[in-house]
Structure 1
Amino acid sequence: MLMVFAATLLVYNLDAALPFKHQQPAGNSARKAWQQGHRRGLALLAGAAAVVAGYLFWRDDWGRYLPKVLPLAALALLYSWPLLKWRGRRRALREVPLLKVFLIAGVWSLVTVGLPALAGLRPLSEAAGLLGQRFFLVLALALVFDIRDYSRDRRAGIYTFPGVLGVAGAKRLGWFFLSIAATLGLARGAAPLAVLLPAMLAAAVIWGAEEEQGDYYFALLTDGVLLVQAAAYFLV
């Protein structure tokens, strides 16, 4: 768990410290303005997280799983880092039309379900139901962040679901993904409260999502739904 925390800290702070992101206007985002004013500190924090994650990876003998973990790490890094050349300039995977939310959902599902299964020496097929449930829940919530970035993505020429379907259409798509997540959870025999409570909270978050919402609506409330799902399994 600590290794995953350190790796997550590394990826998120590297993303925040990207040079091209500091050339973009902060607009009304206090979070982005703060990141632009603390770029050096974020880069140092990313470096420290890389050291901790690397040490834990070596100490716990995760090297034997390197062929399975390496593609996951590559996806996480290539999501924001423009390392792939396409149509005359380098682009990140997040710039591929409509791919952003699927990358987020895929990586987070594999990190929170796939890695524990791997550490427990269990085949991933045993966790397929939970993996699918987690994927569609994260997929629905990822659309909320696309709504947050709606104008910025349009200016950057990045096609997302809110840009293609409109904000209302993206919300309806999010609720559809939530219904799939809830169906998969109930079908695998999970406690109804552990399935329906986070689904209903996620539905409310999607309903209230607007580009003008404050940073904490996204950073705490939206991401917090994922913690509610985890907590619900311990309480029922």
Structure 2
Amino acid sequence: MPFARSSGSAPTPALSPSWLKGGLDAVLYSSTWLALAALGLTWATFLFWQVHIPWRLGIMIFTATLFLYNLDSVLPYKHSQPVALSGRKSWMRAHRRGLFFLAMVALAVAGALFLWDGWQHLIGFIGHLAVISLLYSLPIAKVKGRWWALRDFPLLKVFLIAYVWAAVTVWIPALYLHRSLLDPVVGVLFARRFLFILALAFVFDIRDYSKDLLIGTRTFPGVFGVKATKLVALAALVGAAVLVPIGMPVHHQTVFLLPLLLAAGVIWFADESRSDYYFALLADGVMVVQFLVVWLASKFLL
């Protein structure tokens, strides 16, 4: 809707498509949307146990995700890779300083909340997740004249992503609620979340198919082909669908299939030629839908 005009002054323009696109790009490519997804999945775990998410823990998860993903996006070696720039990569390159500043602010907030809530007794557990997340992109070994991060080791990166996301969004809430990680319900929730994230991680391997081939990273699409990768991803979703926590009502089970069906559609139609928005908005958005479905079920389904 246009702003009101004052007499004798130039009209103030309404929100233009370019302004809206710039705002959408900022939310998606600064990893804010992804950090909201991490917060949502963590919240969904608390909702399963019918407990309100502690706001400080929620902000810690949100800012820690912002830090890790924006740190990854500004690493110098990634900007020197011999690949064609997509709109997403071009935006990140143009905003490297801002993304680095955002990462540092997010780190400061996450670190302060970590200390405030006294998570130091779990420094070993949380520390191993932080190490995996950092070494996922930071070069750690020289192989055939090229420095490799964990993500460069053949077929490994999707499993690392699924493990860290499942651990953060299921195990950390369980630990906060003083539940044993060996509890069968915790195990089922973790496995279900692991397979859900694993399926979506394959989508991003499909997006990066040509780039990974060019730089020598062996992923599932590069080794087995895109179609086979999609079938493995769909199999992971089937595994997530059949892993139902004991005692979950049947009507909840039916409703909770919706995010899995949406994920299946995103996987099936994934192709590296698709728009950056397909992956950043839709593929990551399935995780937000997962939270919304759980939240609505907790509000309206008894």
- The alignment's TM-score, normalised by the length of structure 1, stands at 0.95
Q: Which residue of 2 is the match for residue 83 of structure 1?
A: 140
Write out aligned runs for 1:92-103 (5 A): 92-103=149-160
Residues 194 and 229 of structure 1 are in contact (CA less than 8 Å); yes or no, is this contact kept in structure 2? no
Q: Which residue of 2 is the match for residue 207 of structure 1?
A: 268
Deviation, structure 1 residue 37? 1.2
SS of equivalent to 2:84: coil
- Aligned to 1:231, which of 286, 289, 292? 292
Q: Which residue of 2 is the match for residue 45 of structure 1?
A: 102
One-letter amino acid of the counterpart of residue 71, structure 1: H
Q: Relative contact order (C-alpha < 8 Å, sep 6+): which is higher? A: 2
One-letter amino acid of the counterpart of residue 241, structure 2: A
Residues 74 and 92 of structure 2 are in contact (CA less than 8 Å); yes or no, is this contact kept in structure 1? yes
- Aligned to 1:216, which of 277, 282, 291? 277
Deviation, structure 1 residue 187? 6.5
Q: Which residue of 1 is the match for residue 66 of structure 2?
A: 9
**How far, CA to CA, are the matches of 1:101 and 1:201 in structure 2?**
19
Deviation, structure 1 residue 193? 2.9
Cα deviation 1:84-140 (Å, max 9, x = unaligned) = 444555321000100010000000000110111111111112311111000001000
**How far, CA to CA, are the matches of 2:134 and 2:286 in structure 1?**
24
Structure having the larger proportion of residues in helix:
1
Deviation, structure 1 residue 148? 0.2
Residues 82 and 215 of structure 2 are in contact (CA less than 8 Å); yes or no, is this contact kept in structure 1? no
Deviation, structure 1 residue 49? 0.9
Distance verdict in 2 for CA 1:42–1:132, change over 3 Å: same
**How far, CA to CA, are the matches of 1:195 and 1:165 in structure 2?**
31
Is 1:29 matched up with 2:92?
A: no
**How far, CA to CA, are the matches of 2:257 and 2:84 in structure 1?**
36
Q: Which residue of 2 is the match for residue 180 of structure 1?
A: 239
- The alignment's TM-score, normalised by the length of structure 2, stands at 0.75
Residues 97 and 159 of structure 1 are in contact (CA less than 8 Å); yes or no, is this contact kept in structure 2? yes
Deviation, structure 1 residue 26? 5.9
**How far, CA to CA, are the matches of 1:69 and 1:188 in structure 2?**
30
SS of equivalent to 1:172: helix
Distance verdict in 2 for CA 1:21–1:225, change over 3 Å: same
Deviation, structure 1 residue 233? 1.7
Q: CA RMSD in A?
A: 1.6
Residues 146 and 162 of structure 1 are in contact (CA less than 8 Å); yes or no, is this contact kept in structure 2? yes
Q: Which residue of 1 is the match for residue 124 of structure 2?
A: 67
SS of equivalent to 2:272: coil
SS of equivalent to 2:273: coil
**How far, CA to CA, are the matches of 1:25 and 1:33 in structure 2?**
14
Residues 181 and 187 of structure 2 are in contact (CA less than 8 Å); yes or no, is this contact kept in structure 1? yes
Distance verdict in 2 for CA 1:152–1:26, change over 3 Å: closer
- Provide structure 2 residue ranges, at least 5 long, that are not aligned to the other structure: 1-57, 298-302
| Residue-pair matches, total | 236
One-letter amino acid of the counterpart of residue 40, structure 1: R
Deviation, structure 1 residue 229? 1.6
Distance verdict in 2 for CA 1:59–1:186, change over 3 Å: closer
Is 1:163 matched up with 2:222?
A: yes
Residues 145 and 218 of structure 1 are in contact (CA less than 8 Å); yes or no, is this contact kept in structure 2? yes
Q: Which residue of 1 is the match for residue 208 of structure 2?
A: 149
Q: Which 10-residue stretch deviates more, 142-151 or 121-130?
A: 121-130
SS of equivalent to 2:242: helix
